[in-house]
Amino acid sequence: MATLSIVIPVYNERATLPTLLERVRAVRLPVEREIILVDDGSTDGTRDWLKDNAGGARVILHEKNRGKGAAVRTGIAAATGDFLIIQDADLEYDPADYPALLTPLLDNRADVVFGSRFLGGPHRVLLFWHYFANRIFTLITNVLYNVNLDDMGTCYKVFRTAVLRPIPIRSEGFGFEAEVTAKVCKRHLRIYEVPISYSGRTYAEGKKITWLDGFAYLFCLLRYRFAD
């Protein structure tokens, strides 16, 4: 049976990680699962909690905080599954969407599946400027790479591991989302989008991405249009 590697980059998510892992383990999948937790230098007790509560998941520790891209890169290198999904350690994205995300891959219609927050799934009403910025960056992606994506900034990207592993990922932080999207598009991989639910959180609730990360998005989209 095929295996899904679930790569979870973690940074100071002690409050949400136990519930997230329960949801990851509870979802019924048509494949086996492999859970890889990459703690990116947490300082809030997450690392201590993981020592006794990983429950069979593989845990990899970064000695200092390096950024989401670095943590994802570590997870990709450790993955052994046929498919790979990125799962944030907060509760914004629901693992119950895994089966729908996997379907185009299992049907051999796709090499990569993006979970779109804007295709009709239930979502929490939150920050207009985050929504607006994502629409702008998605538009820039579509113009630069001649695609028609709906949500380039989504966390939920599921890959055939065999097509992801050869792609060089250089971003250390949140620029990972733009970089991997750019490089997937440049390679003309078969991309599908499916609607997902989304429960965004506020900065008071622990949201980490800021407007400064928008510069990383723009830099990556422009740079990797002409370089690899």
Q: Does domain 3-226 have CATH number 3.90.550.10?
A: yes
Q: Which helix (H) or strand (E) holds 46?
A: helix 46-53
The pLDDT of residue 211 is 63
Q: What pLDDT was estimated at residue 119?
A: 85
Token pair 């965004």 is found at 200
Considering only CA atoms, which of 27, 25, 189, 179 is closest in space to residue 113?
189
Kindly list the distances between the CA atom of residue 69 and the CA atoms of 32, 74, 142, 213, in Å, as whole numbers in the listed order.
25, 9, 22, 12
Beta strands in 72-168 (DSSP E): 83-86, 112-116, 157-160
37-41, 116-120, 130-134 — most confident range: 37-41
pTM of the model: 0.91
Is the pLDDT assigned to residue 206 strictly greater than 60?
Answer: no
Average pLDDT over residues 204-210: 61
Look at residue 8 and give its three-state secondary structure. Answer: strand
**Neighbouring-strand partners of residue 160:** 83
Lowest average pLDDT, out of 21-35, 104-118, 121-135, 158-172, goes to 121-135
Q: Which of 84, 73, 70, 72 is nearest to 34 (CA)?
A: 84
> Residue 202: how many CB atoms within 10 A of its CB?
10
Task: Please give the residue that has the higher pLDDT: either 85 or 175.
Answer: 85
Mean pLDDT of the chain: 92
Per-residue confidence (pLDDT) for residue 174, from 0 to 100? 81
What strands, in cross-sheet order, belong to the sheet with 157-160? 58-62, 32-40, 3-10, 83-86, 157-160, 112-116, 191-195
Q: Is the pLDDT of residue 181 over 90?
A: yes
Q: Which residues sit opposite 59 in a β-bridge?
A: 37
Q: What tokens were used for 125?
A: 């009403």
Rounded average pLDDT over 112-136: 83
Mean pLDDT of 132-147: 93
Average pLDDT value for residue range 105-114? 98
Tokens 């980490």: give the residue: 208
